[in-house]
Structure 1
């Protein structure tokens, strides 16, 4: 484990997987993820071993071994965290964002606050761009912040998964009896950061090209054919408003992805060895 302290005093923990000289990519997890999440580790290892990339897998603030800003939820803070990571690993890196981490990666690239971003991969950013499927309540943050402040972690997980992510209540109820429920509760306070990132893009309204005009680097948007219509629609909508984006939908892939299926498109795009290269 390595760490970097941001200008705001946040300690960010990360692991560095050195595969070769094909460039650096920072992996950005989504809601309830953390750097030791098994599929995050598998993705980092495969990109390093099979594509000679240096992969930085970090704990976003409020997760794992990184510190937090309790009660302060602002996407600009997490963009500044990414800037600190990029600087710490050499000043140049691509971003691979997963779910809300994809939303964060795209906003970081659009912001102009992170020098050195070379490419972006957005794996199923959970934008809600119409009213045909699930739309979170506009006042979700009120209850979410209250649950976090009162340290009601199990309730935070259930609330955000059902009201913020649209998961069926029965599915979430079953999760309570799985071994990883304790890990979900451990990172549940960070859900406030995920909503700060995604909330204004989950209203059921179309994405606006003006919000994404700053994403001038080559971008690959990935979706899975086994994912729900909401996520697949979001991927197409994101691709349409990004200045330099391509979209690939992978058969047999879902939002809980088979990393062996996900990795080739990502690795080939990042290393410029396939049709997806910018």
Structure 2
């Protein structure tokens, strides 16, 4: 599948429940769908998409409730899987998928649900597999729900970053001094429960159970950064052990923000793994 002349085209598909899923399509070659992380839309993966478009037909989409995509009446992880299914249908019936952070876990769930995924590349799925790994405290989803119900969006974003992502409070404070950045983040705060649902019970410091992940039949590459907390490496290793066909690679000098901050260092790994021919 390819776009005419390889240019970027903005369009949308309808998911099973009627939700409009907006995306940018660019490049030529085998289809590749990019799945963003929490508090992110397709703008976070736009630079990566631009690099990968030299090798693939890249579908860079806004997850439901974000960017130009609409939202359903009631959320369920299954609806987000159906969104990816609609994009795969648009791509011709099969596609490879790249996901980062909680978006990586969503991509895994889509493949485990039986979608026709050719290959799966993941960056730092945030499973917590030992008591030493970070993860949100007990009852955190309910706490976020309460903050959002009271329209305390900034507090919800801060709580997620500090308590779920283990980000130092001073860094969050610095981000709040950047009005445009903070406005974008708080504008997506209502989707935080979506990512918490995607993660389910996988962040409680327990060994990763084989199910549902063992149902993933596609070859999987799990990438982590050497500057990220060690828990990401443990999670990646645990995941490769429960998947039928997976390998783990650590990229020197990268951290959890590398998809946005260092896409040129991640792209070659994706290109090599997906077996794309060199760009002309």
Structure-2 residue corresponding to 1:55: 58
Structure 2 residue corresponding to 1:9, chosen from 14, 18, 23: 18
Aligned-partner Cα distance in 2 for 1:209–1:272:
30
Does residue 266 of the first structure (1) align with residue 267 of the second (2)? no
Distance in structure 2 (CA, Å) of the matches to 1:237 and 1:220 = 13
Unaligned runs of 5+ in 1: none
4+ aligned runs moved over 6 Å, structure 1: none
In the alignment, the residues of structure 1 paired with residue 263 and residue 150 of structure 2 have an alpha-carbon distance, to the nearest angstrom, of 36
* Cα deviation, residue 252, structure 1: 1.4
Residue in structure 2 matched with residue 107 of structure 1 by the alignment: 109
2:49 counterpart (23, 44, 48): 44
Distance 1:171 1:132 in 2: 22
Q: How far apart, in 2, do the equivalents of 1:56 and 1:240 lie?
A: 29
Q: Choose from 63, 68, 86 the match for 1:65.
A: 68
CA distance in structure 1 between the aligned counterparts of 2:209 and 2:256, rounded to whole angstroms:
24
Query: Which residue of 2 is the match for residue 193 of structure 1?
Result: 194
Structure 2 CA distance for aligned equivalents of residues 5 and 241 of structure 1 = 33
Unaligned runs of 5+ in 2: 1-9
- In structure 2, the residue matched to 1:24 is 31
Q: Shift of residue 272 of structure 1?
A: 5.4
Which residue number in structure 2 is paired with residue 159 of structure 1? 159
Question: How far apart are the structure 2 equivalents of 1:239 and 1:167?
Answer: 26
How far off is 1:69 after superposition? 3.0
1:36 partner SS = helix
Q: Which residues of 2 match residues 1-278 of structure 1 at below 5 A?
A: 1-18=10-27, 20-21=28-29, 23-37=30-44, 40-49=45-54, 52-69=55-72, 72-112=74-114, 114=115, 116-178=116-178, 179-257=180-258, 258-271=262-275
CA RMSD of aligned residues (A): 1.5
TM-score (norm 1): 0.91
In 1, Cα distance between equivalents of 2:206 and 2:133: 12
- Alignment correspondent of 2:3: none
